[in-house]
Amino acid sequence: MSNLDLGLSIALGIGLAAATGFRLFLPLLVLSAAAWTGHVNLNESFAWLGTPAAVIMLGTAAVVEIAAFYIPGVDNLLDALATPGAVVAGTIASAAVMTDVPPMVKWTAAIIAGGGVAGLTQSLTAMLRAKSTLFTGGLGNSVVATAELGGASLISILALAAPVAALALLVLFFWLAFRLIRSLSGGARTGEKAQR
């Protein structure tokens, strides 16, 4: 495997992992469907992801997860549960697409980069939802849920088609999310000072 192929394989894995930070099951469903239709090769130990049974199971889980994030109160509870799940799903998604990669490189990249990026993405979206709940009483959470669904869909598909572009989009998302959280936190502090 050339260095370019290795880099693209890792970029694909990181892109899919980051998408699991938005929604756990949707990126795995996209990966499963792509493997089942022959559009992506999986590491042989993850061949089960490319089976019809996996597509059906992940499809059902994705629909339930998407619907649950539109229920007030349940969305915040799911954020608390999804953070460790995102790290696991991100690690699986990364490792599954790293074919012909030495095991030490594959698992190091999958755990540190894949799981780490998935956990970071999930943490940022959870913070955004918490700020939305605080400032809108939960009324704005459906907007956050829709943005997360769009992010998971876009980054999953983009990771398969153009992994480097998916990583560039992730960098943009992280930058925007950090700025938004910082400005919302600054606004909350300004409001507290004004009340004093």
- Res 157: pLDDT: 95
Number of domains present in the structure of the chain: 1
CA atoms in the 13 A half-sphere facing the CB of 56:
3
pLDDT tens for each residue of 3-60: 777 788 888 999 999 999 999 999 999 999 999 999 999 988 899 999 999 999 999 9
Confidence of residue 166 (pLDDT cuts 50, 70, 90): very high
Confidence of residue 156 (pLDDT cuts 50, 70, 90): very high
**pTM (2 d.p.):** 0.86
Q: What does the buried/exposed string (b/e) look like for 81-104 if buried means 16 or more CB atoms within 10 Å of the residue's CB?
A: ebbebbbebbbbbbbbbbeebeee
- Res 187: pLDDT: 58
Q: Is the pLDDT of residue 184 over 80?
A: no
pLDDT top residue among 139 and 154: 154
DSSP for residue 46? G
Q: Is the pLDDT of residue 176 over 60?
A: yes
Task: Give the structural domain span for 64.
Answer: 3-195
User: What is the 3-state secondary structure of 129-191?
Assistant: HHHHHHHHCCCCHHHHHHHHHHHHHHHHHHHHHCHHHHHHHHHHHHHHHHHHHHHHHHHHHHH
- Res 25: pLDDT: 95
Helix (H, G, I), strand (E, B) or coil at 70: coil
pLDDT tens for each residue of 97-147: 988 888 888 899 899 999 999 999 999 888 888 888 888 888 888 999 999
Q: Can you tell me the distance from the alpha carbon of 196 to that of 120, in angstroms, rounded to the nearest whole number?
A: 34
